[in-house]
A and B are shown apart, each in its own frame.
Chain A
């Protein structure tokens, strides 16, 4: 296309970086040449662009010459970001050219070629900025409230922390009472205090804050809407008891012939019974008739509410592992074999029975660390058994209390608790029992091989407590279906980023407590605080978002749905015309969809297929002469590109045959772009991304490898060398590895000879 005067609105600014870049590259000469390029209104060198004077000179140019696009050829785009924004043109029309870290500093031993490369990378960036889009941030109105699913200790605390800042909270609990598993405990470790005390305090605080709306006997039916604007359909089953009228006289409990009345504890919330209607006898209305306050209405119907919230916190807690399959342990088969949780109930209600016991045995790791059942360690069972053993010793110092273990895990200062148990006389045996049998007189007998003493031990116990492991709650699979969160192989809610443990791979949905991993009460409450903070951050009563998300070109799209399938965050759904469309808030701008589309129909707002295509066209295949091979490297923003910058900062040298292009993720590189690069005569193409397990976007590197494999195969069929495309795993802190990879690759390509293709 011939240059038209109206095209000339691009300003190119080349920095010497206080003379440093200039020692390797003659930026003045480069500026003079760039002045003549199509669409360039001004091209000049500056001593130090990021200085106050440097920036103001650019600003003046923009105003005076009416520039609408700017190239800043200087240091890495990740340096001096603030200085080069807000210059007077849309920020997305300012392109940074990495002249320092990825050119002058890494080719100081080859200045002649460094200059040639500088010219090429300037040309590449010129094409990129030429087709860049002037994106403007949008204001998406968002809800200010948060919905918490799960009314156990984690959910309650998340609600308190959120409501404490004035935001509205909806606390949705499946059962008729708040409190979760903690309400069933007799004592907390390590202080041996009763949970009822803590729960009472929490309930007082819940009641005191009008911003908290509690829905018990309620479940989430469906999740609609999008991050910042969720619409949750919540179904509340009838309680049949009006908590405001109930006087807690207890008559309904007495009147009920079927144990269908769930009666509250003194610290419960709501403080009113609930009728389990499914257990009632036909047409029985005994409870209603007995109620003196007329608080029971057996005709109450379920309610469905739609609740709008800006974020969700999942706190659905845990279930104990059921030890029945471990038949050798006799649960369900023998009397007086109980689980740790059942022991808590016994400790609360049958103290006399416990005092009378002579010998109690705890068996650890029931279900946990077991390939057949729970492969992981359930974290709390050692402390729980220590607590229960200490309790027994306090009740009856003469009883024999054994703990049969694999390892005792009491990290940090919990070590003191272990010592306390030792001092109380609890006997620790490192060995797990064989089959439990009914004793001859009564009680349970078994033998254990004590691995420390090296001897068999015969035990006859009055009570055996199985320290069963923790699994996520039964409803976790349904929760996954409704919210789309990702579960790991043990069905716990997964965050794929180690540094964002509250994330769930779904925007604006966070997790707290035992639904994430086994943990004790203190950690659950901490976890809830963290989730609350994250949830609050994700709100803001109005979400500002730049529309740089992925966009599908519906003229090219064939609805093969590969983008929907491969998106790690399930950000895509079909729009009203049946084309895939990414939600602007769910999209994480990784570009995996762009990389996988067979028709190259998907682009990101900040990096399009068109831009990449033009950038490749800007590469002069012979910039280092006819013999020298060229390597084009697509580097992921999070790891490989940073490693390249690091190489620059450290002055690690590599051949100037290498041209780097930053992409959001290794998975963002489309096969058609690579095909074009090869067709234009580029000798080798590599994609450098995070090592697999570290990919910020879960599967970008893995997908890049698969796609490169396909292209390699095709090259082989074309009787070209399959090694002309490859993947390189480069971590953030591996600049030497990157430099070595480039050096080795260039050498290898010299041996192969130049790519015979030329577009």
Chain B
């Protein structure tokens, strides 16, 4: 169920009004829970899993998941963003690990 916020890692973007995931989510789905000070997705069903929040989180606190309607539990897709590069690590449900690293066209 996309996206999953790992509470230990999330720091609520240091308590600013809008954490980065909230600023970037095009569906207005990510927001800060006032009580815990951590981010969460307010409607998992509406998420389009574009992964913008996953990529922008400075603490790497968001894990992307596939809705159970579509795929089984336990697979992972982890982006590591460099200045003009991105490295994806994909782990399937059988534990097979694949890594893809290539240049992006972002201006450094």
Contact = CB atoms under 8 A, between A and B. Distances in A.
Whether A and B touch (Cβ < 8 Å) is answered with yes
Interface of A: 558-562, 565, 596, 598-600, 609-610, 612-614, 670-673, 675-680, 710, 713-714, 717-720, 756-759
Contacts of B13: 560, 562
Given A710-B59, A718-B99, A676 B89 contact: no
Nearest to A564: B16
A600 B81 CA distance: 10
A759 B100 CA distance: 9
Nearest to B91: A719
Contacts, number: 94
B43 interface: no
Contacts of B25: none
Contacts of B37: none
Contacts of B99: 718, 756-757
A719 B76 CA distance: 11
A9 B25 CA distance: 46
Contacts of B60: 710, 713-714, 717
Contact of A718 (B56, B80, B81, B86): B80
B105 interface: no
B82 A565 contact: no
B97 interface: yes
A675 B87 contact: yes
A613 B84 contact: yes
Contacts of B59: 710
Contact of A759 (B9, B16, B76, B102): B102
Task: Name the prevailing secondary structure of the B interface residues.
Answer: mixed
A672 B83 contact: yes
- Lowest 4 A-B CB distances belong to which pairs? A676-B82, A598-B58, A718-B89, A613-B83
Contact of A758 (B83, B101, B108): B101
Interface residues of B, number: 31
Contacts of A613: 82-84, 108
Given A560-B20, A565-B14, A613-B83, A759 B101 contact: yes
6 contacts: A560-B19, A560-B23, A614-B108, A714-B60, A718-B99, A757-B101
Given A558-B23, A675-B87, A714 B16 contact: no
Given A558-B20, A562-B14, A562-B58, A675 B80 contact: yes
Contacts of A598: 20, 56-58
B29 interface: no
A676 B58 CA distance: 15
Given A599-B56, A613-B83, 11 more contacts: A558-B20, A559-B23, A561-B16, A562-B58, A565-B16, A600-B83, A672-B81, A672-B83, A675-B82, A717-B89, A757-B99
B84 A717 contact: no
Residue among A560, A562, A720, A758 with max Cβ neighbours from chain B (10 Å): A560
Contacts of B81: 672, 675
B56 to A, nearest CB: 6
Interface of B: 9, 13-14, 16, 19-20, 23-24, 56-60, 76, 78, 80-87, 89, 91, 97, 99, 101-103, 108
A759 B85 contact: yes
B18 to A, nearest CB: 8
A610 B108 contact: yes
Nearest to A677: B82
Contact of B82 (A610, A673, A717): A673
Nearest to B97: A719
B97 A672 contact: no
Nearest to A717: B78
Contacts of A612: 83
A609 B82 contact: no
A614 B103 CA distance: 13
B12 to A, nearest CB: 11
Contacts of A559: 23
A671 B58 CA distance: 9
B78 A714 contact: yes
A610 B106 CA distance: 11
A758 B100 CA distance: 9
Contact of B80 (A562, A679, A756): A679
A678 B9 contact: no
A599 B87 CA distance: 16
B9 A676 contact: no
